[in-house]
Chains A and B, each alone.
Chain A
Amino acid sequence: MHFGPHLLLAALEGLVTSAVLALTALGLSLVFGVMRVVNVAHGEFFMLGAVLAWAITTAIGGHPALGFLAALVISPLIVGGIALVAERLVLRRLDYNPEATIVATIGMLYIIQQLALTFYGPEARPVEPPFTYRILLPWFGYSGYKLSVIATSALLLVATWLVLTRTRIGLVMRATQYDSETAQAFGIPVDRVYGGVFALGAVLAAIAAVLIVPISQAHYLMGQDPLLLSFIVVIIGGLGSLRGTIVAALLIGMSDGIISMFFSPTLAKIIATLLVAMVLVFRPQGLFGTAAR
């Protein structure tokens, strides 16, 4: 294939990766930024979202769009509920101690993974996309659903941004992130904010998973890669910066696709990973972060 179409394809693929990554990473970024909790189980919330999407679409049947839309609403709500319970039962009682929460979320990771294996099974299971429209370009065909994933993610990101910047909820969250003690003193129920933020983070991961699951199937080990990539995105973007998170997701999603045009795939991954690591080495606060407090 010629260079131009190849680049276009790589860019489209990169955009899909970036879109889903941005949503997942945003969830992690909120938890990380507001609560200072390194949530190792974030990838498992992602996995749960996908697995529940499979369960819901299978239970509903009928036209695939029907099941998919139901999954898009119900699955994140369930995952958010589970996260809230976990936060109340465990993280709050640990007083959000950074080290203790790492161990606790590793524990959650094991528990969620094992429950998924026991009740869902080890197979990769597909979810039908709500519509199957193949866009025919002169050089290759492309999935219409993938383009809709990009659009949906963009919409959700804008919505989240509006909530964070234009509403009272957002203000409360930002205040808590900036200085939780002062926020407490000003009458903000920090404790409830933390619970809400943890649930919201899981909801975002689950939404991303429901969007991606018609493209790549639900599998009980699918949480690891999104977790690692999200961590990278959050740190590269700069802690607590929504703009940074999105730019970093684009950077990582696109570089992965485009570098793979020029090098053998594994070498491409090595180079891409090294490049991103170097960005961080020479700009430790991330692209849009302010120096660490």
Chain B
Amino acid sequence: MSEASPVKAYALHAGVIAFLFVLSFVLPAYYHGLLARILVLAVFAMGYNMLFGYVGLLSLGHAMFFSVGLYGAGLAVIHLGWSVPLAFLGGIACGAALAVVIGLLALRTTGVAFMIVTMMFAQVFYLVILYFASWTGGDQGMVVPQPARVLTFGATSLDLTDPTVRYMTALVLFSVVLLITLAIVRSRYGRVLVAIRENEERTRMLGYNTFSNKLAAIVVSGAICAASGAAYALLFGYVGSSFASVQYSILPLLWVLLGGAATTLGPLIGTLFMYYVTDVTSAYTSAYLLIVGIALIALVLFFPKGILGSLRQRWLGWLP
């Protein structure tokens, strides 16, 4: 969080985005497709990092924000026949609205109680999806029809099922969210959030309304996660309740902790790392979960602050 080198930080982020852009033309087809998925899920992780990394609120229920975007966008296309951009915005709006409600209730608690309350609300959300199975497809989920997954700009139309279009769409979403995160982190508001994380009492005494700042952070975080979910539904064509299960609440936590909490690029690194380890090990053994487990423990033993967090601590103090 040092003030020293804004130029360095912006250059780094621009470089990462440019690198990802170039990758689109050199990666083999499989990794190209996989990276598109990772970019979308990294947005989920960035949304999670917003709340966990910068405000220090550990939620175990973020699957509900991801899946409210997923269902908000997916069901709008399936049942209401909305266009892709409208459905995407609808998904984000659902996420923000849900985040306001959850924030108002859950922010009455802190620490472990916050963890459990968010986990329980996510469980309720999961059960609600199952309960309204005639609309949501329940545990089987639903397919977003391929013909509906098209972006139309006047006369030209982009088919989101085309690998290049999909990759570029995912990259645009990722880049926008990355730059938003960077801007927030470097803003006055971002500093207030970190201050709340470090010492909420003192921040309050300095005259900041910590509640409304935290609520705003939850809404931003929820909206970003919902954007990721909405993009997932539209780009990959499937909505299903497994994305609302506890597992998908733990995953972003894992990605963020791996990459480095409170680093802007950590979520991407963590998501990449998890996917890469799973992909490589599953080629050699069906017991790849064992390897993943060992890798996690090794990582946390030797890089306790996550990959980027440890790098920042030891060598790169200027990393945002």
Contacts and interface: CB of A to CB of B under 8 A. Distances in A.
Interface of B is mostly: helix
Interface string B229-250: 0000000000000000010001
B120 A93 contact: no
Interface in A254-293: 266-267, 269-270, 273-274, 276-278, 280-282, 284-286, 292
Interface string B91-119: 00000000000000110111111011101
B299 A292 contact: no
Contact of B127 (A109, A232, A266): A266
B300 A104 contact: yes
B287 A284 contact: no
Contacts, number: 122
B194 interface: no
A101 to B, nearest CB: 8
A127 to B, nearest CB: 25
Contacts of A179: none
Nearest to A118: B287
Given A110-B293, A118-B287, A235 B116 contact: yes
Interface string A69-111: 0000000000000000000001001100101101110111111
A277 B124 CA distance: 9
Interface size range on B against A: 35 or more
Given A100-B304, A224-B246, A284-B108, A270 B128 contact: yes
B249 to A, nearest CB: 11
B130 A266 contact: yes
A113 B301 CA distance: 21
B257 A277 contact: no
Contacts of B108: 281-282, 284
Interface residues of A, number: 46
Q: Which of B253, B290, B299 has the most CB of A within 10 A?
A: B290
B292 A110 contact: yes
A269 B289 CA distance: 31
B120 A284 contact: no
A68 interface: no
B294 interface: yes
Given A269-B127, A273-B120, A280-B120, A102 B296 contact: no
B113 A106 contact: no
A94 B304 contact: yes
A107 B127 contact: no
A228 B246 contact: yes
A54 interface: no
Closest 4 CB pairs of A and B: A110-B293, A107-B296, A111-B293, A284-B109
Given A103-B257, A107-B294, A270-B128, 5 more contacts: A93-B301, A100-B257, A280-B116, A280-B120, A281-B105
5 contacts: A99-B261, A104-B300, A107-B297, A115-B290, A235-B115
